[in-house]
Chain A
Amino acid sequence: MGTESRATYTGNDSLLRIEDLKMYFKEGKKYLKAVDGVTLEIEDGESLCLVGESGCGKSTLLKCVAGILKPTSGKIIFQGQDLTKLKGRKLLKARRKIQLIFQNPYASLDPRMKIIDIVAEPLRIQGVPKDERRKIAVETLREVGLPPGVENKYPHQLSGGMRQRVAIARALSVKPKLVLADEPTSALDVSVQAGILNLMKRLQRDYGLTYLFVTHDMGVVRYICERVAVMYLGKIAEVASKKQLFNSPLHPYTQALLNSVPIPDPSKRKRRPPLKGELPDPLNPPSGCRFHTRCPYATEKCGKEEPQLLPKNGRLVACHLVNQD
């Protein structure tokens, strides 16, 4: 299976398939459509990056998959089971295979719990006996590169990088298949970001993990991802392999997003139209293509008709201009 076919790949062994997922929040009399009909597939063992501006719904999507939010409609099919339909013990069992790493390691660790109890918590919830889960927790702490003795400390005694390693150990302790990461490096110093990313890459290799990575850092995308899904105002704009995306972004929004990444070498800078304006109010999303208000190529059709996410040269794009030729 070549890189070209990866983006549109719709085989049966996809680990996670999100189908037409919608997550609406009621704001007064209106609905805030944070996630509005997202369909996305993640293959076993790959790492998919979900990128987009703040407020585009990428974290909300992740929280739906993690089970923190109950989606308004749509399916989340994990290993053949629709998670939105599971209940009780079956759901708990399926949850074990999906773990989450948060953005801010200062907020995601309970300040009153010892490190060992934090790491062992998913095991405790799964009903693993105390001695066994403590043993696993200590082993996992070593695995993420934390020194002996750390298990009896409290979160406030650790640095940001160490805390994020604890959060990773917590996710890893139950031997998950799918790890959801919500900007796991953005709250950290630049000097420790690389260490965390390297660790996550090594763990992916050693444990056969699948990553769904939410980020707005294109450097992180380049380093860790194989495929990228670009999100704009609750919808997917483009899904492509990393190489395709960086070399020839098709959707005007993707182009603008890449344009916002500084390139050190001036001779390598390409001229792409800059992104104008702010993200529109998600309570009143623009008609037709949601990007048309900021798109430099927008035509009359873009303001009226909503583009579908269609395959194009081995990837998926939702843009009238790209899809017509």
Chain B
Amino acid sequence: MDGLIKMGEIKDYPSFLAGLIIVLAVVLTAMLAPLISPYDPIEQNMPHALQPPSAYHLLGTDPYGRDVLSRIIWGARVSLYVGLLSATIAMIVGVPFGALAGQLGGIADALLSRVIDIMLSFPGIILAIVVMSILGQSVDNTVLAISLAMIPRFARLARGEALQLSVQEYVQAAKASGAGNLDILVHHILPNILSPILVQYSLSIGSAIMIEAGLSFIGLGVQPPTPSWGEMLSLGRQYLYTAPWLSLFPGLAIMLTVLAFNLLGDGLRDMLDPRLKRV
């Protein structure tokens, strides 16, 4: 693994660095939420409802008098939890299946490829909506629905890469020595497809956060009063003219976080691709 990323090189990739800094900031915010959030994110405080941003409530308050900043800070937890967990599950399930299919070829590959094609023909959010309406609403079901929607991306990527690798001479050498398919998968295919998978992983976290926000926005995701950025947007939609801060700030939070993960992914791709290496 060493040699994949050199610490001294990071400064040559400003987009990666920017993404990394924002992601770290979001992660820290989520971890330190109980310490840094100025108010309770759930407790209602009707006399202070719908206040614009002020010194007391930096980002204003919502129709129930809850502090928007506090809810954004706590909402980061939900977004990161759903984003990280669903991208991770999708990767862990999708990559071995796809890689094995690409490596084996034949009927196994044809079968899996068709399943992937079918799943990819649905937009991720539609697939997630269907799954959510079947499973019912909870944070963990949201994770399940999103990871299910993202498995085919990983499977297809891993399949393509494994297909190329399986004809490499070092794979044939292992085969000639009597290595089984699983041995080749673990020792040769997976380590060599790690870089594109890592890039896909980072980009997927961003889109998982988007899908979660979308689900919560239409009321299928995380349920109130649990603070979630998508749910905040949904609430703010009704007050778009009278209290724009309600939707503006959660929207910014989503945008910034997704952007950060995308920058991270793009940066990783540049860093890991030797053809794009800067001299």
> Do they bind each other?
yes
A interface residues, Cβ below 8 angstroms from B: 63, 66-68, 91-92, 95-96, 98-100, 102-104, 107-113, 118, 121-122, 125-126, 154, 167, 170, 174
Residues of B within 8 A of A126 (CB): 177-178
Give the segment of B17-25, B78-86, B129-137, B165-173 that binds chain A: B165-173
**Which interface residue of A91, A102, A104, A110 has the most chain B CB atoms within 10 A?**
A110
**Interface contact B173-A67, CB-CB below 8 Å:** no
Residues of A within 8 A of B279 (CB): none
What range describes how many residues of B lie at the interface? 10 to 19
Nearest 3 interchain pairs by C-beta: A108-B169, A95-B178, A122-B177
**Interface contact A95-B177, CB-CB below 8 Å:** yes
Residues of B within 8 A of A95 (CB): 176-178
Residue of A nearest to B192 (CB): A112
**Interface contact B192-A68, CB-CB below 8 Å:** no
Complex Cα–Cα for A104 and B178 (A)? 21
Residue of A nearest to B168 (CB): A107
**Which interface residue of A99, A102, A118, A125 has the most chain B CB atoms within 10 A?**
A125
Residues of A within 8 A of B8 (CB): none
Complex Cα–Cα for A60 and B172 (A)? 13
B interface residues, Cβ below 8 angstroms from A: 3, 168-170, 172-179, 183, 187-188, 191-192, 194
Give the contacting residue for B177; candidates A63, A104, A110, A125; CB below 8 A. Answer: A125
**Interface contact A107-B170, CB-CB below 8 Å:** yes
Given contacts A96-B178, A112-B191, 11 further A-B contacts (CB under 8 A): A68-B176, A91-B178, A102-B169, A102-B172, A103-B169, A110-B187, A110-B191, A111-B192, A121-B177, A125-B183, A126-B177
Residues of B within 8 A of A68 (CB): 172, 175-176
Residues of A within 8 A of B179 (CB): 121, 125
Residues of A within 8 A of B3 (CB): 154
**Interface contact A67-B174, CB-CB below 8 Å:** no
**Interface contact A121-B169, CB-CB below 8 Å:** no
Question: Can you identify 30 A-B contacts, CB atoms within 8 angstroms?
Answer: A66-B176, A67-B175, A68-B172, A68-B175, A91-B178, A92-B178, A95-B178, A96-B178, A100-B173, A104-B169, A107-B169, A108-B173, A109-B170, A110-B191, A110-B192, A111-B192, A112-B191, A112-B192, A118-B170, A121-B174, A121-B177, A121-B187, A122-B177, A125-B174, A125-B178, A125-B179, A125-B183, A126-B177, A154-B3, A174-B177
Residues of B within 8 A of A110 (CB): 170, 187-188, 191-192
Residues of A within 8 A of B170 (CB): 107-110, 118
Residue of B nearest to A93 (CB): B178
Residue of A nearest to B184 (CB): A125
Complex Cα–Cα for A176 and B275 (A)? 39
Residues of B within 8 A of A92 (CB): 178
Residues of A within 8 A of B174 (CB): 121, 125
Residues of A within 8 A of B176 (CB): 66-68, 95, 98-100
Residues of A within 8 A of B187 (CB): 110, 113, 121
Residues of B within 8 A of A113 (CB): 187, 191
Complex Cα–Cα for A66 and B175 (A)? 9
Residues of A within 8 A of B175 (CB): 67-68
Complex Cα–Cα for A301 and B174 (A)? 46
Measured CB to CB, the closest approach of chain A to B146, in angstroms, equals 30
Complex Cα–Cα for A99 and B173 (A)? 9
Residues of A within 8 A of B188 (CB): 110
Measured CB to CB, the closest approach of chain B to A2, in angstroms, equals 35
Residue of A nearest to B1 (CB): A112
Residues of B within 8 A of A67 (CB): 175-176, 178
Residues of A within 8 A of B172 (CB): 63, 68, 102
Measured CB to CB, the closest approach of chain A to B151, in angstroms, equals 25
Measured CB to CB, the closest approach of chain A to B85, in angstroms, equals 28
Measured CB to CB, the closest approach of chain A to B243, in angstroms, equals 54
**Interface contact A99-B177, CB-CB below 8 Å:** yes
Complex Cα–Cα for A258 and B267 (A)? 56
Complex Cα–Cα for A100 and B176 (A)? 7
Measured CB to CB, the closest approach of chain B to A214, in angstroms, equals 14
Measured CB to CB, the closest approach of chain B to A90, in angstroms, equals 11
Measured CB to CB, the closest approach of chain B to A111, in angstroms, equals 7
Complex Cα–Cα for A92 and B85 (A)? 41
Complex Cα–Cα for A66 and B178 (A)? 10
**Which interface residue of B3, B168, B169 has the most chain A CB atoms within 10 A?**
B169
Residue of B nearest to A65 (CB): B176
Measured CB to CB, the closest approach of chain A to B194, in angstroms, equals 8
Complex Cα–Cα for A109 and B178 (A)? 16
Complex Cα–Cα for A68 and B172 (A)? 6
Residues of A within 8 A of B183 (CB): 125
